[in-house]
């Protein structure tokens, strides 16, 4: 069973061991200074999210998703948004939810790809149930994920070499109070400070590290270019358990990217752009140029990886999907793929 909503502490998490992570072994993604490595050689993460926007691509269609990813010459698939609403004591632990993730990871492994496993669904379900996700202790949920055994491959998530890293909960909103209506119709206000965010990432990434070998990461941070966001991004990125820096670059965030790159390199950490993209209202040729320009800029600033939003086949002016229906953009992504 899951944690009881409304509580703010949980027992210490121990996953398969005594504290320090073990050695990841051959085939696992590791940190080499400001780069990732695979079996001792530099490895550039090149991926996309697989948010299910049509009935052909996404978590319920792993074979088609992996096939499209391979056509785009991606080496990583970002698994996110596989549950949305429900009871935070039940839904995040539902075997049927996680069996879908198992299959996607297994298919990625069979194709020689890696996975960025996003855990922000847990934050969303807490939020929608009016539980402050940054003061609530995630310990029991982290233990559940780290100790889960894949029903297809038999691998334990916390040491699964196919999982390049977990992304905890990126893009926190600027600090302060946020009011909204819950799915049940109740009014709710959640308030948190920059210190709350720092404590959250400190506590939760430390919980992930215990007994695991898969890299842990905050998830892509956004709003850093906004002077009043209040997000202590340098402190969060500097955490020893936050194994690399991670941003999302919509709007003014891309212009802020070199600032993040310089800071992360100054503390000898890799940085990645975990999410960027443009709507299809921009024509295919213009999008292709935008994607290419992003790849060039990120590599010029020493990025260790990038992942776009979103791999899919939905065609809509407001959609972000890249697939067979956007051939020029897809070709640009193929052409910019790293050699390894």
CA dist 287 → 27, 28, 319, 339 (Å): 34, 33, 12, 23
Looking at residue 149, the DSSP 8-state letter turns out to be B
pTM > 0.85: yes
pLDDT tens, position by position, 32-41: 999 999 999 9
pLDDT value for 14: 33
pLDDT value for 339: 84
pLDDT value for 2: 36
C-alpha to C-alpha distance for 141 and 200, rounded to whole angstroms = 14
3-state secondary structure of 111: coil
Site of tokens 């790293």: 338
94 within 8 A of 133, measured Cβ to Cβ: no
C-alpha to C-alpha distance for 58 and 106, rounded to whole angstroms = 14
C-alpha to C-alpha distance for 28 and 36, rounded to whole angstroms = 10
> What residues of the chain score a pLDDT lower than 50?
1-21
Residue among 261, 246, 338, 268 nearest 300 (CA): 261
> What secondary structure, in 3-state letters, does 207-276 show?
HHHCCCCCEEECCCECCCCCCCCCCCHHHHHHCCCCCCEEEECCCCHHHHHHHHHHHHHHCCCCEEEEEC
pLDDT value for 253: 97
pLDDT value for 57: 86
C-alpha to C-alpha distance for 275 and 70, rounded to whole angstroms = 19
pLDDT tens, position by position, 207-244: 999 999 999 999 999 999 998 999 999 999 999 999 99
pLDDT value for 263: 98
pLDDT value for 19: 39
CA dist 238 → 36, 211, 244, 269 (Å): 17, 21, 8, 9
CA dist 129 → 87, 169, 194, 329 (Å): 8, 17, 22, 39
């Amino acid at each position: 069973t899951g944690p009881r909503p409304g509580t703010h502490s949980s027992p210490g998490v121990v996953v398969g061991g005594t504290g320090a992570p073990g050695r990841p072994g051959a085939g696992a993604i590791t940190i080499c200074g400001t780069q990732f490595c695979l079996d001792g050689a530099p490895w550039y993460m090149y991926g996309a999210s697989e948010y299910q926007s049509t009935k052909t691509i996404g978590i319920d269609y792993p074979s088609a998703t992996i096939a499209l990813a391979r056509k785009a010459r991606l080496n990583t698939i970002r698994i996110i948004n596989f549950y949305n609403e429900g009871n935070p004591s039940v839904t995040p632990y539902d075997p049927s939810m996680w069996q879908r993730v198992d299959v996607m990871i297994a298919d990625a492994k069979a194709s020689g790809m890696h996975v960025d496993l996003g855990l922000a669904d847990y934050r969303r379900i807490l939020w929608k149930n009016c539980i402050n996700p940054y003061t609530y202790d995630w310990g029991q949920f982290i233990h559940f994920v780290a100790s889960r055994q894949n029903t297809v491959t038999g691998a334990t998530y916390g040491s699964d070499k196919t999982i390049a890293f977990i992304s905890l909960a990126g893009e926190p909103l600027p600090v302060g109070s946020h009011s909204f209506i819950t799915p049940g119709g109740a009014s709710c206000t959640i308030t948190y400070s920059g210190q709350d965010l720092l404590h959250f990432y400190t506590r939760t990434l430390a919980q992930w590290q215990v007994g695991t070998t898969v890299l842990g990461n905050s998830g892509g941070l956004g709003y850093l270019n906004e002077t009043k966001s209040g997000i202590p991004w340098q402190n969060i990125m500097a955490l020893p358990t936050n194994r690399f820096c991670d941003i999302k670059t919509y709007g003014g965030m891309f212009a802020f990217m070199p600032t993040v790159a310089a800071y992360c390199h100054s503390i000898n950490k890799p940085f990645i752009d975990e999410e960027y993209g443009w709507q299809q209202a921009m024509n295919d040729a213009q999008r292709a140029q935008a994607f290419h320009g992003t790849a060039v800029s990120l590599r010029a600033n020493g990025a260790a990886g990038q992942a776009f939003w979103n791999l899919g086949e939905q065609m809509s002016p407001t959609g972000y999907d890249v697939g067979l229906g956007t051939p020029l953009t897809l070709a640009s992504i193929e052409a910019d793929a790293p050699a390894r």
